[in-house]
Amino acid sequence: MKRIIGIGAAAALVVASGVVLAQEGIGRNDPQGNFRPLSENLRVIGGFDFAESCSYDASRELIVVPNMGNRAGDGFFNDGWVSLINHDGTVNTLQWLTTNEDTGAFVNDPFGRDIVNGVLYLADRTGGTGDDDPSVAVVTRWDMATGEMLGFHSVPESTGFNDIAVTEDGTIYASDSEANRLFQVNPDGTWSILVDDNGENNREGPVFQLPNGVAIDGNGNIVVVNIFSSNVHTFTPGGELIGTTNTVDGGDDGIVIMADGTQYVSSVRFGSVSRISPDGTAELIAVGMPGGASMCYDPVSSQLVVPMDNANALVFVPLN
């Protein structure tokens, strides 16, 4: 059976047997409103349910893909799960992690993620199912070997984190897009606001313009991209802004930083991937994606894996 996934008036994705086939007309408008078709060298794989991020698990050489589940606002809540995907996009395990009432494990609405020292960290939330049930940001922790939920950290000052990056000692850096803040969550669960851009739900503040993707560079600094600008900010672990580069299109979501300092940034608003060289020079390497959320790098296949959230698909971008 085929089903059509709407991605705007100009295009659609046709899903057959879990594989999304690039069809004529698929693409995304650039910042000037000009339609750009999907780059010819991209592979698109479907069968997901609002996949917003991914990570690469080196221990099993699999791509870990959180699915946020139903986002239609029709009364369905807390229906997320986590998939395991092979290099070619075929499914290893569709619903590897799910909510389990018997054990207390939960996958409600997973956004960003990171894998460090065999532990999967998921930006999730509790609550948020109604006006009398406030949403609270949590970061859950899972054993990558067994799938067991190890616990979670709760941050009631935030209604939900967008993306996270985790250090070797388990310190979590998390973006709160709506509040224009960058949080630090320590291994013991204590937390602080590392960067507060007015703290007044100002979506376009003097520093952040709705912060989204977070990564840690080779020097231990925290790098954050913005949805409402092309700015890619670098902060020290103490929260000092020490540098800014820019993507080509802006409207950014995901970021991958290579060992040599090269940054790859995906634009969720304009469906592209920018490559920023260590000298700050930016160029586009892929365009025409219907979205482009928090991506990851698969080193075995030398490819970026870019979730296309509400298109319910992944895009594979070769770097060779």
pLDDT digits (tens, 9 = 90+) for 259-317: 999 999 999 999 999 999 999 999 999 999 998 999 999 999 999 999 998 889 999 99
pLDDT score for 206: 84
> Terminal CA-to-CA distance of the chain, rounded, Å?
34
> What band does 75 get if pLDDT is binned at 50, 70 and 90?
low
* Two structure tokens written together for 245: 């580069």
The answer to whether 68 and 110 have CB atoms below 8 angstroms apart is yes
- Collapsing DSSP to helix, strand or coil, 80 comes out as coil
The answer to whether 285 and 292 have CB atoms below 8 angstroms apart is no
pLDDT score for 202: 65
* Two structure tokens written together for 70: 């139903």
The answer to whether 317 and 303 have CB atoms below 8 angstroms apart is yes
Name residue 186's beta-bridge partners: none
Residues 6+ apart with CB under 8 A from 320: 302
> What band does 17 get if pLDDT is binned at 50, 70 and 90?
very low
What sign results for the dihedral spanned by CA atoms 249, 251, 256, 257? positive
d(CA 171, CA 244): 23
Percent of all residues in the chain with a pLDDT value above 90, rounded to a whole number: 78
pLDDT score for 22: 47
> What band does 131 get if pLDDT is binned at 50, 70 and 90?
confident
* CA nearest to 22, candidates 320, 252, 313, 278: 313
* Two structure tokens written together for 286: 């892929």
Residues 6+ apart with CB under 8 A from 144: 57, 59, 60, 115, 118, 119, 120
pLDDT score for 197: 85
The pLDDT of residue 21 is above 90: no
> What band does 162 get if pLDDT is binned at 50, 70 and 90?
very high
pLDDT score for 294: 95
Render pLDDT for 55-72 as a digit per residue (tens, 0 to 9).
999 999 999 999 998 765
The stretches of the chain forming alpha helices (DSSP H) are: none
* Two structure tokens written together for 220: 């231990």
The answer to whether 5 and 33 have CB atoms below 8 angstroms apart is no
Average pLDDT, rounded, for the chain? 89
d(CA 232, CA 104): 38
d(CA 320, CA 112): 26
d(CA 7, CA 122): 26
pLDDT: which is higher, 78 or 19: 78
The answer to whether 215 and 223 have CB atoms below 8 angstroms apart is yes
pLDDT: which is higher, 247 or 9: 247
* CA nearest to 214, candidates 235, 244, 193, 230: 235
Render pLDDT for 194-245 as a digit per residue (tens, 0 to 9).
999 875 666 777 899 999 999 999 999 999 999 999 999 999 999 999 999 9
pLDDT score for 79: 87
d(CA 198, CA 193): 11
* Two structure tokens written together for 47: 């069968």
Name residue 65's beta-bridge partners: 83
The whole-model pTM stands at 0.91
Residues 6+ apart with CB under 8 A from 263: 223, 232, 245, 255, 256, 257, 274, 275, 276
